[in-house]
Homo-oligomer: A and B are copies of this chain.
Amino acid sequence: MDGLARLRLARTEGVGHVMHGRLLARHGTPEAALEALGRRAFPRDAALREMEGLAALGAHLLFLGEEDYPPLLALLEDAPLVLAARGDLAAFGRRGVALVGARNASGTGRRFAEDLADALAVRDICVVSGLARGIDTAAHTGALRSGTTIAAVAGGLDRPYPRENAALQERIAAEGGLVLSEAPLGTAPLARHFPRRNRIVAGLSLGVVVIEAALQSGTLITARLAAEAGRELFAVPGHPLDPRSRGSNDLIRRGARLTETVEDILLHLPEAPAEAPLFRMPLLAELPEEPAEEPPPASDAAAQVIEMMGSTPIAVDELGRRCQLSAPRLSALLLELEMAGRIETLPGNRVALA
């Protein structure tokens, strides 16, 4: 089956960008590389199952270096070796602009994002975002009013997250847009996948527009990745007393373009990424670091947390005392378990098994 060997090679544990290049250089073809890897290679059966699953979804596989791979994304040093894509690949032909921002965005912020996305789509620009709650959702929704949008998701294409956006994901794929994922089918979106998803959002775009981002937010990771990749950075200002504007105001202070209307973007959107980062890097070092791609396995602690939870809701504070975990550690675990669909968060800072 076409692409099977490339998929197996890309999915093989420990084969990253550098190793992939070395293997191909040494062995000539993916097939020969796989043969050299022997039993370490990703299993043929699993790859076949994935390809069948993708075919059932009507999805394509895009391999780095092949013609249909998005050219801007290919410029990244750590471009994904493989992407699963559902929808219309013609979306790659349009200039991409990412709209990113807080999940807990204000109503004003969401309305602004929706209208800005619409205005960009009217001008034949493809709006890129991450299908998250808040600004992402507003951006995709606004863009679909008049044009195209690309959603890069953190989990497998068959695991829409958040669940409430499953219908939006379907709409994007059906209405001329694209849904992209680097993760194999069946992958539940875990915290560590999100910075990887963010680099795809940035990589697909000539410019990234930050709308409502707190300091130390994931949105600023996307901004940093975009700047490092020579993409233009835009930020929507807000009042200093609104904590949701701290991140975007700070970006403006560091050199991002103050953005009030679509004209501010059109005026400064380049035809191609810059060779060097447009952003002043020494200052950027103060931005939050991308979390390590492979954190130490959390399974023991996570299992302990699950064990301590009964069928009835429990207060997070109480759970922390039972598990003897620090508050930040516990909330990281709870976030991961929630993303994996194992638990759900309830009002009053309580949690329960899903």
Chain A residues with a Cβ under 8 A of chain B? 108, 111-112, 236-242, 245-246, 249, 252-253, 257-261, 264
Contacts and interface: CB of A to CB of B under 8 A. Distances in A.
B237 A108 contact: no
Contacts of A111: 241
A18 B260 CA distance: 44
Contacts of A240: 112, 236-237, 259-261
A264 B240 CA distance: 12
Contact of A237 (B112, B245, B261, B264): B245
Nearest to A115: B241
A258 B260 CA distance: 15
A238 to B, nearest CB: 5
Contacts of A249: 237, 258, 260
Nearest to A260: B240
Counting every copy of the chain, the complex holds: 2
Contacts of A237: 237-240, 245, 249, 252, 258
A238, A239, A242, A261 interface centre (most CB from chain B within 10 Å): A239
A252 B245 CA distance: 15
A127 B111 CA distance: 37
Contacts of A261: 240
Contacts of A252: 237, 252, 258
Nearest to A236: B240
9 contacts: A237-B238, A237-B239, A237-B249, A237-B258, A238-B239, A240-B260, A246-B260, A249-B258, A252-B258
Nearest to A111: B241
Contact of A253 (B112, B238, B258): B258
Contacts of A108: 239, 241
A261 to B, nearest CB: 7
A112 B245 contact: no
A262 to B, nearest CB: 11
Smallest CB-CB A-B distances: 9 pairs: A237-B237, A240-B260, A253-B258, A238-B239, A252-B258, A237-B249, A108-B241, A249-B260, A249-B258
Contacts of A259: 240
A252 B257 CA distance: 10
Contacts of A260: 240, 246, 249
Chain B CB count within 10 A is highest, among A112, A253, A264, for A253
Contacts of A112: 239-241
- The interface centre, meaning the residue of A111, A237, A259 with most chain B CB atoms within 10 A of its CB, is A237
A242 B236 CA distance: 12
A253 B264 CA distance: 10
A128 B238 CA distance: 25
Contacts of A241: 108, 111-112
A51 B242 CA distance: 50
A269 to B, nearest CB: 16
Nearest to A246: B260
A184 to B, nearest CB: 41
Interface centre among A240, A249, A253, A257 (most CB of B within 10 A): A240
